[in-house]
Amino acid sequence: MHCKFLSCIHLWLATILLCVSAPTLSQTNGTWFTRAPLPTPRQEIPHAVLQGKIYVPGGLR
């Protein structure tokens, strides 16, 4: 069950990261807003969560 949940989270994060714009959650009021679009489209994006922060080091062009 735990692995299925993590797989869903990874799929969800990958879907968000493949979008043209990058939504960001405001820490002050809990609402989402759009950041600048990614300069180069990416695929197969590695990501990790460490101490409550999401790290996305790159991906393939």
Average pLDDT (5-32) is 68
In the predicted structure, residue 50 carries a pLDDT above the cut 80: yes
Side chain identity at 61, as an amino acid letter? R
Q: Are 19 and 12 in contact (CB under 8 A)?
A: no
Beta-bridged to residue 49, according to DSSP, are 54
Q: Are 45 and 18 in contact (CB under 8 A)?
A: yes
pLDDT of residue 28: 79
Region of residue 44 (phi > 0: left; psi between -120 and 50: alpha; otherwise: beta): left
Kindly list the domain boundaries of the chain, sorted by start residue.
Answer: 2-55
Higher-scoring residue by pLDDT: 29, 4? 29
